[in-house]
């Protein structure tokens, strides 16, 4: 490499042409992963959204996300589906947490999903909520799913493209925690009408929530609001509330990002007992009613 006094760079006078030529030879025609902003061969970015099954009809799709695991994302997903189902809407849940599926257990689903020449049929709960999860395809529901990222992402995509979702008013996508392959695939492949971010009171979570919020903003996905789970425990005798995991920070997080706090859920042993027993549809709790109102008005 020769230092060129005229251009003040470590390239010759024709460095620009040489660089473009080299880039042209190395081009893989994937403009989305290329940093060459001035490339003459650059094409406009193409939509990566996947079309659902030809027989599907889905009006609204809401993703339920979290920056970390164990904050109650699947509980919020289940309860929102149950609440809107009680209001007369046909709801569905796409369980995108392939390595940690919990939706079938929450609803007591034991049968396996079946398919025909037109696609895969989701399982239906006792009150009529359609569900698709990897555990509805495995012979042994306790068998671990030891797949790499691309296969996980491809499976989630197939739950959207190959499953026949009939007359669904509201679909909830229960996503795995974090900002990895599967959440990215959902954001890019499924036309989300918005996401709900689930968090917990710990101060550390504020940073993790920010990652999830920032990812949604980068992907141009609307954020419906925040739900704080395990916000407090309430004494059944005196009604006093105790901040078991410390004082809540969700209001500050919401204000920082210009978001709404949709709900603050308490620690309730009865709710946990019903969900663990597969009786999520029997849970009577009003904490998510306001969140359901917001979703219903989308």
Render each residue's pLDDT in the chain as its tens digit; 298 residues: 443 444 444 444 444 444 344 445 556 544 544 544 455 554 444 578 999 999 999 999 999 998 888 889 999 999 999 999 999 999 999 999 999 899 999 999 999 999 988 999 999 999 999 999 999 998 888 888 888 888 999 999 999 999 999 999 999 999 988 878 888 999 999 999 999 999 888 766 677 888 888 888 888 999 999 999 998 888 888 888 888 887 888 888 899 889 999 999 999 999 989 999 999 999 988 899 999 999 999 8
- 5 vs 156: CA distance, rounded Å: 55
User: If you ran DSSP here, which 8-state letter would residue 238 be given?
Assistant: T
pLDDT value, residue 26: 56
- Classify the phi-psi angles of 84: left when phi > 0, otherwise alpha if psi is within -120 to 50, otherwise beta: alpha
pLDDT value, residue 193: 96
pLDDT value, residue 160: 97
Strand-pair category, 123-124 with 130-132: antiparallel
pLDDT value, residue 27: 60
Q: Identify whether the C-beta of residue 103 lies closer than 8 Å to the C-beta of residue 82.
A: no
Q: Hey, is 10 helix, strand or coil?
A: coil
Q: Identify whether the C-beta of residue 248 lies closer than 8 Å to the C-beta of residue 228.
A: yes
Pick from 268, 271, 272, 230: which is nearest to 248 by CA? 230
Pick from 214, 297, 223, 296: which is nearest to 260 by CA? 223
Radius of gyration of the chain (CA): 23
pLDDT value, residue 78: 97
pLDDT value, residue 181: 86
pLDDT value, residue 235: 85
- Classify the phi-psi angles of 219: left when phi > 0, otherwise alpha if psi is within -120 to 50, otherwise beta: alpha
The pTM of the full predicted model, rounded to 2 decimals, is 0.82
pLDDT value, residue 44: 45
């Amino acid at each position: 490499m020769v230092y060129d006094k005229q251009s003040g760079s470590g390239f010759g006078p024709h460095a620009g042409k040489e660089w473009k030529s080299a880039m042209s030879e190395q081009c893989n025609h994937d403009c989305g992963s290329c940093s060459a902003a001035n490339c003459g061969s650059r094409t406009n970015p193409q939509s990566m959204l996947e079309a659902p099954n030809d027989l599907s009809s889905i009006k609204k799709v809401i993703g339920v996300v979290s920056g970390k695991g164990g904050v109650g994302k699947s509980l919020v997903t289940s309860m929102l589906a149950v609440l809107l189902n009680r209001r007369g809407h046909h709801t569905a849940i796409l369980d995108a947490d392939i390595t940690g599926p919990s939706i079938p257990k929450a609803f007591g689903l034991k049968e396996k999903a079946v398919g025909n020449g037109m696609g895969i049929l989701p399982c239906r709960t006792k009150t009529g909520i359609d569900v698709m999860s990897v555990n509805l395809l495995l012979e042994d529901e306790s068998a671990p799913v030891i797949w790499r990222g691309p296969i996980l992402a491809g499976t989630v995509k197939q739950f959207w493209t190959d499953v026949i979702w009939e007359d669904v008013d509201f679909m909830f996508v229960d996503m795995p925690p974090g900002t990895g392959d599967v959440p990215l695939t959902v954001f890019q492949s499924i036309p989300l009408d918005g996401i709900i971010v689930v968090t917990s009171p710990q101060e550390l979570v504020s940073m993790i929530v920010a990652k999830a919020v920032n990812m949604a903003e980068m992907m141009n996905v609307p954020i419906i609001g925040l739900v704080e789970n395990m916000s407090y425990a309430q004494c059944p005798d005196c009604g006093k509330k105790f901040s078991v995991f410390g004082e809540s920070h969700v209001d500050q997080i919401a204000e920082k990002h210009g978001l709404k706090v949709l709900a603050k859920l308490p620690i309730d042993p009865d709710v946990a007992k019903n969900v663990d027993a597969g009786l999520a549809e029997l849970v009577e709790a009003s904490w998510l009613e306001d969140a359901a109102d917001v979703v219903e008005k989308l």
